[in-house]
Amino acid sequence: RSNSTSFIGLGRMGYQMAYNLFSKQYVQADGSGSPGFVVCDAVADSARSFCSEFSQQYPGAHISIATSPEEATIASSRIITMLPSSPQVKSVYSESIIPTLRKLHMESSEYTFCIDSTTLDVVIAREVASNVERTGARIIDAPVSGGVTGAKAGTLSFLVGGTEEDFEAAKPILALMGQRIIHCGPSGAGLGAKICNNLVLGVEQVVVAEAMLLGRSLGLDPAILAAVINSSTGGCWASSVNNPVPFALPGKSPPCERDYEGGFATSLMLKDMGLASDVARQRDSPLPLGEAAKEIYAHIIQQRPDLAQKDFSSVYQYLKGEATV
C-alpha cells in the first residue's frame, strides 16, 4: 500500500493525468520494481481500457482495477480524485474514502495522502477536507487549469490549497502531471483561485464572441480583427488561443475548427460560473458580469442542447443564431 497510488475518476482529464502519472512513475522506478497503480471509475469500461491500453505498453507494470473507491483506498497510501463536481466528491469521500480511512487508521498508523483535483464548491471541499483530516490522513485541494490539452501534454497548472508541509509533499507527484504548481494558501484556497480564474475566462469568452460578431456585422475580416485584438489592450486567452471564429487564428487550430469538439464543455463552464455565483452570494461580493455570463451559458444549454458538450467558445454560434444580421 505504501508504494502504490490510486487514481479515482478517469474522465476526459483524469484518464490523461493518470497516464502521465503512471508512465512517469514507471520510468522513475527504472526497473527497480514498478510502483503499484490502481485505477477506479464509476464506468467500469474506463478503468478496463486504461488497464488494457497501458499494461501491454509497459512490461512488468502493476496496474490494477479497483471496483469501488473503498477498494482503491485500501490499495494505496496515495489517493487522487478527479471527479465531475461537488455531489460526486461529497459522496465518494463521505460514503467510501473517509469510512475506509477511519478503519485503516484504527488498525495501523500508516499515513494516507489525498489529492482532490476536482473543481467544486469551496465550502463543501473544506468540509470534506476536515473530515479526512479527522481520520489522521492528509488532503489538499489541487484543481487544475490547462484543459484536456494540458492534461495530455503534462503541462497543467495546479492551484493548491493546504498546509505548507502538504504542499511540499504533493509537489513531486503533481510535477509528473503538470508544469506550474502554485501554493494559493490553506485548505480551499486552490479552489478559490480556480473559481476566480474561470469567472474571468467565462466572461471573456462571451465578450470575445460579441466582438467577433459585431466585427462580422461591420464587414471586418475575422483574422484581421483577431490580430488587432490580440496585439492590443483587448488581448486575452479567449481571443488569442480559443478564438471562437474558424480561421481567425492562422496556424492555430482552436476547438471552433473542429466543430467546437475537444475543449472545455459549455456545461462545465456553466458549473464553474455557478460555483462563482454561489460563493459570491455567500460572501456578499458583487458579480454583475459574472451573473450575466452565467445566464448566457444557461440559455445555451436550454435552447441549444447540442452545444452543451461542445467547447464553451460555441457561445459564438449561439449568439450568431440570435443575431438578425
Instruction: Point out which residues bind ligand NAD (CB under 6 A).
Output: 8-14, 40-43, 46, 69, 82-85, 88, 92, 118-119, 144, 147-148, 264, 268
152 in active site: no
Closer by beta carbon to ligand NAD, 43 or else 292: 43
Whole-angstrom distance, CA of residue 166 vs CA of residue 161: 9
Shortest spacing between CB 13 and ligand NAD, in angstroms: 3
Bridge partners for 115 per DSSP = 80, 140
Shortest spacing between CB 318 and ligand NAD, in angstroms: 19
| Closest C-alpha among 205, 204, 117 to residue 157 | 117
Shortest spacing between CB 311 and ligand NAD, in angstroms: 9
Bridge partners for 64 per DSSP = 38
Closer by beta carbon to ligand NAD, 98 or else 144: 144
Shortest spacing between CB 324 and ligand NAD, in angstroms: 33
Shortest spacing between CB 41 and ligand NAD, in angstroms: 4
Closer by beta carbon to ligand NAD, 6 or else 243: 6
- Closest CB to ligand NAD: residue number: 11
**Distant-in-sequence contacts of 97-100, Cβ < 8 A, 24+ apart:** 97/69, 97/70, 97/73, 97/132, 98/128, 98/131, 98/132, 98/135, 99/70, 100/69, 100/70, 100/73, 100/74
Q: Cell numbers at residue 136, please?
A: 489522521
Whole-angstrom distance, CA of residue 315 vs CA of residue 215: 16
Closer by beta carbon to ligand NAD, 11 or else 246: 11
> What 3-state class would DSSP assign to 127?
helix
Amino acid at 158: F
In residues, how long is the chain? 325
Closer by beta carbon to ligand NAD, 9 or else 254: 9
| Closest C-alpha among 205, 162, 158 to residue 177 | 158
Give the pairing of strands 178-185 and 62-65: unpaired
Given 24, 152, 194, 271, which residue is catalytic?
194
Write out the catalytic residue numbers. 194
